[in-house]
Chain A
Amino acid sequence: MPSLPTDQPVTPSRTGHFPVLEPLLIAKGVTKRFGGVAALSDGCFTLRAGEVHAIMGENGAGKSTLGKILAGVFPADSGQMLLDGKPFTPANPQASQASGVAMIFQELDLFPHLSVAENMVIANRAFDEGLLARRDRMRAFIQPHLQAVGFQGEFHQPVGELSIGDQQLIAIARALSMEARILVMDESTSALTEDAVQVLFFVIRNLKAMGVSIIYVSHKMDEIFAICDHVTVLRDGATVGDAKTSETDMARLIQLMVGREVDRSAQAVSHAIAKEVLRLEDVSSASVRDVDFSLHAGEVLGIAGLVGAGRSEIGRILFGLDPLLAGKMTLADAPYAPRSVREAKRRGVGLVPEDRKGMGLMMQMSVRENSSLSVLHSLVSAWPFSVIQTRREAEEDRLVSERTRLKSADPRAPVHHLSGGNQQKVLLGRWLQVNPDVLFLDDPTRGVDVGAKEDIYRLVEDAAEAGKGVLMVSSELPELLRCCDRILVMNHGRQVGEVDARATSQEAIMQLAAAPRPS
């Protein structure tokens, strides 16, 4: 970890004046759709010169999308943006950089095999490379910026060998070298250690003193109060409020983040019975700690928390993907410590992953082939040829497609033609065919249209009614409140609460999920 030269004088802003808090970048009514999903419906935002301004909201609120539009990563569908009072419509990141707006991506866009110096100058508008890369010229160019962010490593070191914290400093230095006046930082601390976060905060304060304005996209309450002057809250794609951090508090922000009408009339009926199907006692893996709950037949247990809190990781332990490092699991009254996916499946545990394209479906295979994949070994005729009984396969697929209400044109069509909602139904259908006793659903309605969502909720209820134990990870609090009997709340890799879904509120869950890191 680099130690910053704390005795170095803070440099005045570029123009030589002290920062004045006048509006620098204004966004009004910004909208953006991705396919059928509206990520932003009314994004509004006012950045004043020299301030550190947070954009915050739940998962999927649209904050990252707004940040990217401000940085020119992609254009908005509609709305207005003004920079220095003039219309600002960058067609691409290069155009924003030319106007002085740069983005520090969550997944840093550096080249791991190139050196620090090469990363600084590559495709950098402010550096005239000429035909040959001259070491001394590169050094002269990059030195002041690297010094400004307090990077103390070697310039020729491959960036991939640096710590994430240092890599982030390089990314910031690069943005500074392109004369950025506004930096958009997207969830910059998600991969940083505690120390590196403090270093980053120090750098941010220095940047502020240099006259750089910062847009800090985050969902981390404690950081926002620690480093930001102002905060704008987004909810379901729209700006619902903003305030100076000195004039507000966590409770008020949470109220803004989640304060939506919840339709309690659609609440699922409880099908839980007393029989326990799964029990975790003080379970820990490499990514989560102190997970402790029991799941009953017919029960739907929700898992809530912010991104990175460890929700999916519980599923990984259950499904044999991550090893159990501490604690005990009991499945159907027998000890359970799966060492592989196949063992988990054999013991009656299923997992529907959150990334259906990357981890779930075979995009070139048909609906029917995807649907039967996990039970194919049972759809064969007698030995020795293990020939697939296509009629049985088609029938099973038809039955399961009815249950998921999959309205696809042709079960023989490749899956990549289907909409997100239908693709999710195919994946769910696969696991319905397997018919496990415990089913872990990781964000099953992500990127799914409203109609398909209802179908999936009904499916969850059907599974519970059939006596399964269902665990459901979701970032949508209303969804959890509606479908679940109880809800676990994860925070920074630890289980911090277990609430009754019918007796709790979105605010209460978010309080637990967004509370500062428990010590």
Chain B
Amino acid sequence: MPSFLYRYKEGFILIGMMIIAAIVTRGVYLQPGNLTDILRTIAPVAIMAMGMTFVILTAGIDLSVGSILALGSVGSAALVMQVLPGMPIIVAVPIAILAALLVGGLCGAVQGALIARLDIQPFIITLAGFTGFRGLAKLVTDNRKIQLNTDGAQELAAWLSQKEVIIGILIIVCIVSYCLLRFTVFGRYVRAVGDNERASHYAGLPVRRMKLAVYSLSGMLAGLAGLLVCARNRTGDANFGIMTELEAIAMVVIGGTSLAGGRGSMSGTILGALILGTVTNVLGLNNVDSNQQSILMAVIIILAVALQKTRQSI
């Protein structure tokens, strides 16, 4: 495969899929309203996928993000209902966002600290988080949903569910994540730790601190996703976000990031999110059975990873 095609393969795959999508949906796909719909739909999981990219780049994994999303949605709902009713939107929104980041970040930090200090595999710790955080959400809500049924709460939620706002937040997270990975010391360290953790330690990198940081970041973004989902559904529910951790991982993997760590990019994850969003959208527009959708998704994931294998020598 010519190196130019290979290097930007995710971009070409996306363009190819968009063409097919346009054909198959007889142009409906390309309507601006539809395209922005895709962005709005994938936003929460895509945001989590960007945090997941950092984690996977360090040769780790975060299975808990779906559960942190649930906890985040519950926490946001409670906050909006209890604390924020009297406040104007311009004050309430930043507070809600900050609170979501904090709750998620705390969950992530706990896991990150355990992974860094105890040297236990991330799979196991985040698996514990996967069950633990959702359990915590159920405990706190007594297994009931938290409805946003006051006027103030509904108004805030409606504001946060506007297409422009959600897409805006998504774009901001994309830009920040991209720059963080590409241009900063942090991003370089993340790749180094995933490439060769021992050598990173010998080179004087703060390996433990890096691990704590990436899991905290992943948790933060999962909390933010929880806020968005809560706003969209006007509800805080401990059952939100089921399976989303796997969707996020799928986006990262389709985007070309290796699960072994050290190799990958944020632009890849973004493209992976768009590819996944396109497929779901097109299948939905054509009223394809959701079970068939799942199978097709599986095929796409395998194809995407297989395409990466063609040029690997390590």
B is bound to A:
yes
Given the interface pairs A365-B192, A365-B195, the reply to whether A387 lies near B183 with Cβ below 8 Å is yes
Residues of B within 8 A of A365 (CB): 191-192, 195, 262
- Judge whether B27 is part of the interface by a CB distance below 8 angstroms: no
- Judge whether B199 is part of the interface by a CB distance below 8 angstroms: yes
Measured CB to CB, the closest approach of chain B to A215, in angstroms, equals 35
Q: How far is the CA of A359 from the CA of B263 in the complex (A)?
A: 18
> Closest chain A residue to B201 by CB distance?
A341
- Judge whether B200 is part of the interface by a CB distance below 8 angstroms: yes
Residues of A within 8 A of B263 (CB): 364
Measured CB to CB, the closest approach of chain A to B9, in angstroms, equals 17
Measured CB to CB, the closest approach of chain A to B250, in angstroms, equals 23
Given the interface pairs A342-B204, A345-B204, A374-B204, the reply to whether A360 lies near B191 with Cβ below 8 Å is no
Structural contact, B202 and A359, CB atoms closer than 8 A: yes
Partner of B185, one of A353, A363, A380: A380
- Judge whether B144 is part of the interface by a CB distance below 8 angstroms: no
Partner of B204, one of A341, A385, A416: A341
Structural contact, A416 and B183, CB atoms closer than 8 A: no
- Judge whether A193 is part of the interface by a CB distance below 8 angstroms: no
Structural contact, A362 and B206, CB atoms closer than 8 A: no
Structural contact, A363 and B314, CB atoms closer than 8 A: yes
Residues of A100-144 whose CB lies within 8 A of B: none
Q: How far is the CA of A269 from the CA of B200 in the complex (A)?
A: 35
Total interface residues in chain B, CB < 8 Å: 24
- Judge whether A376 is part of the interface by a CB distance below 8 angstroms: yes
Structural contact, A362 and B199, CB atoms closer than 8 A: yes
- Judge whether B125 is part of the interface by a CB distance below 8 angstroms: no
Measured CB to CB, the closest approach of chain A to B70, in angstroms, equals 32
Measured CB to CB, the closest approach of chain A to B297, in angstroms, equals 28
- Judge whether A358 is part of the interface by a CB distance below 8 angstroms: yes
Which of under 10, 10 to 19, 20 to 34, or 35 or more describes the interface residues of A? Answer: 20 to 34
Measured CB to CB, the closest approach of chain A to B192, in angstroms, equals 5
Residues of A352-382 whose CB lies within 8 A of B: 353, 358-365, 369, 373-374, 376-377, 380
Q: How far is the CA of A89 from the CA of B196 in the complex (A)?
A: 39
The residue in A362, A387, A388 that gathers the most chain B C-beta atoms within 10 A of its C-beta is A362
Residues of B207-247 whose CB lies within 8 A of A: none
- Judge whether B186 is part of the interface by a CB distance below 8 angstroms: yes
> Closest chain B residue to A352 by CB distance?
B202
Measured CB to CB, the closest approach of chain A to B21, in angstroms, equals 33
Residues of B within 8 A of A345 (CB): 204
- Judge whether A480 is part of the interface by a CB distance below 8 angstroms: no
> Closest chain B residue to A387 by CB distance?
B183
Residues of A393-452 whose CB lies within 8 A of B: 416, 430, 434
- Judge whether A294 is part of the interface by a CB distance below 8 angstroms: no
The contact string, 1 if C-beta is below 8 Å from chain A, for chain B 246-284, is: 000000000000000011000000000000000000000
The residue in B192, B195, B204 that gathers the most chain A C-beta atoms within 10 A of its C-beta is B204
Q: How far is the CA of A430 from the CA of B204 in the complex (A)?
A: 11
- Judge whether A11 is part of the interface by a CB distance below 8 angstroms: no
- Judge whether A147 is part of the interface by a CB distance below 8 angstroms: no
Structural contact, B202 and A363, CB atoms closer than 8 A: no
Q: How far is the CA of A388 from the CA of B182 in the complex (A)?
A: 9
Known pairs A365-B195, A374-B205; list 14 more (Cβ under 8 Å).
Answer: A319-B202, A342-B206, A358-B199, A359-B199, A360-B199, A362-B196, A363-B196, A365-B192, A369-B192, A373-B188, A373-B200, A380-B185, A385-B179, A385-B184
The 10 closest A-B CB pairs, nearest first, are A362-B195, A345-B204, A386-B185, A374-B203, A364-B262, A387-B183, A362-B196, A376-B185, A364-B195, A373-B203
**What are 20 A-B interface contacts by the 8 Å CB criterion?**
A341-B204, A358-B199, A359-B202, A360-B202, A362-B192, A362-B195, A362-B199, A364-B191, A365-B191, A365-B195, A369-B191, A373-B203, A374-B205, A377-B185, A385-B179, A385-B184, A386-B185, A386-B186, A388-B188, A430-B203
A interface, CB within 8 angstroms of B: 319, 341-342, 345, 351, 353, 358-365, 369, 373-374, 376-377, 380, 385-388, 416, 430, 434
